[in-house]
Structure 1
Amino acid sequence: MTGAGQGIGRAIAEALHAEGAKVIVLDRDADRAGEVAEAINGLALDCDVTDPEAFHDVLERAHAWRGRVDILVSNAGMARGEPNGAVSAEEAHWQQSFDLHVMAHLRAARTLLPDMVARDEGALVNVASAAGLLTQIGDAAYSASKHAAVSLAQSLAIEHGNDGVYVGVVCPLYVATPLIGYGDGDAPAHDRVITADEVALAVVAGIKEERFLILPHPEAGDFFRMRANDPEGWIAAMRRLRGRVMEDGPTDIAALHRKI
């Protein structure tokens, strides 16, 4: 379980523990990983998942803990926003977004898939975002990398579904986590925002039902179909929305969700 020291990752780790799973809590913050692992009697590992060699080594340690990894939940992520439109963010921001939201998923699957395929069982669950189905206003790098994460999950599902490996992708809208300015346990500011615990329950249900597309906000599916059925109308509506939320100028992701 990557990115499990807080937010959605912590909630999923706790929910899997409640289902009887032995959870490996992986986070780049060793103290947070240790705190969560202690609470659920799991194993704490710290690593920056954008470091290929370090991530491979820590996944090998995770596999050795109990001799197998049955479920990988690849959750680590970030969102910074952009200063002034899609081309204004630095290339380093774009590269980090793809390293974290796409390559980390790929590297984890590359390390763990061979054993899952050999055993004819296993699960890969990538936590993406509704931005991977739609578009996040104010962070083009986030949206593009989350679209790529959804596409990668589709490819893994197509290629390995007949190998006994279940693949799912989680695409929530706004969640009350530090990513958008909430502290763990803070109540959502409005009804468009759900808690990390609600996301975790949706993930557990999705894994049990072996659903590819896990939507903690069901309305994200309606928006996705609207976009597919009328892309021109969707773009026009999003332009109007962007004009409304950006009328005071560029804003950060934490403030943006309160305007949408």
Structure 2
Amino acid sequence: MPTPPGLPVALVTGAGRGIGAGVALALSREGYAVALTARSREQLDETAAACPGPTLVLPADLTSPGAVDELVDHVEEQWAAPEVVVANAGAGVSASVERTTDEQWQQMLDLNLTAPFRLLRRTIPAMKAAGHGRIVVVASVAAKLGEPYISAYTASKHGVLGLVRSAAMELARTGVTVNAVCPGYVDTPMTEATVRGIVAKTGRTPEEARAALEAKQPINRLITVEEVVEAILTCVRNGGMTGQGLNVDGGGLQS
């Protein structure tokens, strides 16, 4: 449907649950018309139902060739070019380096690095033409720090932080900012999957596995979705901040 007059447009990937759903709801409350994408229509419909403002539900697999271009084309045709883009879609895989398969490696690069690159490439021209834009990539503290058994994930997140930094410098005089938010372990379904993986591989109880992840943050708890969303909103609101990787990890990685 047409965008109500005066409403800016935001696009959020991975908007079906967790951080993506949280930021979509927050942007809707801030007065944005929000385009939502993820693989699951059912989850997107739930997010859309919670948003007080207008939404577009656009299921897509962003790793498919051409999917990002088709997604943004649809938003522009139905509404207008997004002036806020939050690249949140992502996934993790756990394996030692010698046990990481080519398929696992490629999966991490495709979703965590190539998809955000394609999203930036497609949305930057309209932002430059408008003289205003905000791009926020949800990375991870793994974009700055190596941990064992997540080499493919870590490599993809290091790569996407490099993309953010280079794009920010290219766009510094255009009115377009590009930042990353780098959470620690967040209380989301993705972390629950990590807990299940620890249980399966180590024989620990779910409670023990969760406690181990909590202990990685000096505050000794998981980060909340709301804490990550607030950091994303800071990147959206603050035009003087660009090229940054904003840590939200309870003090684990100080910078």
Is TM-score (shorter-chain normalized) higher than 0.5? yes
Report 1:81-230 matches (<5 A): 81-82=94-95, 85-181=96-192, 190=214, 191-210=220-239, 211=241, 212-217=244-249, 219-222=251-254, 225=255
From the two aligned structures, give the one with the greater helix fraction: 1
SS in 1 for 2:98: coil
Q: Does 1:49 align with 2:81?
A: no
2-structure distance, mates of 1:87, 1:155: 31
SS in 1 for 2:178: strand
Q: Gaps (5+ residues) in structure 1?
A: 183-187, 226-260
AA paired with 1:104? A
1:61 shift after superposition: 0.5
**Identical residues among aligned pairs (%):** 33
Report if aligned partners of 1:24, 1:37 keep a CA contact under 8 Å in 2. no
Partner of 1:251: none
1:135 shift after superposition: 1.7
2-structure distance, mates of 1:137, 1:44: 37
Partner of 2:41: 30
- TM-score, length basis structure 1: 0.79
Q: Of 44, 62, 87, which residue of structure 1 is paired with 2:75?
A: 62
Report if aligned partners of 2:93, 2:152 keep a CA contact under 8 Å in 1. no
1:194 shift after superposition: 1.2
Q: 1:220 to 1:117 in 2, by over 3 A?
A: farther
Q: Of 59, 62, 85, which residue of structure 2 is paired with 1:72?
A: 85
1-structure distance, mates of 2:252, 2:119: 27
1:220 shift after superposition: 4.3
- TM-score, length basis structure 2: 0.80
2-structure distance, mates of 1:147, 1:106: 13
Q: Gaps (5+ residues) in structure 2?
A: 1-11, 194-209, 215-219
- Render the CA deviation track for 1:168-189: whole Å, top value 9, x for unaligned: 101011101111117xxxxx86
Shift >4 Å, 4+ stretches: none
Report if aligned partners of 2:133, 2:175 keep a CA contact under 8 Å in 1. yes
**How many positions carry a matched residue from both structures?**
217
- Render the CA deviation track for 1:40-62: whole Å, top value 9, x for unaligned: 14111100010121221011112
AA paired with 1:89? T
- Render the CA deviation track for 1:148-204: whole Å, top value 9, x for unaligned: 01000001001111111111101011101111117xxxxx86433111121111211
AA paired with 2:13? T
1:30 shift after superposition: 1.1
Q: What CA RMSD, in Å, does the superposition of the two structures yield over aligned residues? A: 1.8
2-structure distance, mates of 1:58, 1:203: 22
Partner of 2:16: 5
1-structure distance, mates of 2:65, 2:82: 19
AA paired with 1:86? V
Q: Which moved further from structure 2: 39-48 or 202-211?
A: 202-211
Partner of 1:18: 29
2-structure distance, mates of 1:217, 1:120: 33
2-structure distance, mates of 1:221, 1:12: 23
Report if aligned partners of 2:136, 2:178 keep a CA contact under 8 Å in 1. yes
Report if aligned partners of 1:79, 1:142 keep a CA contact under 8 Å in 2. yes
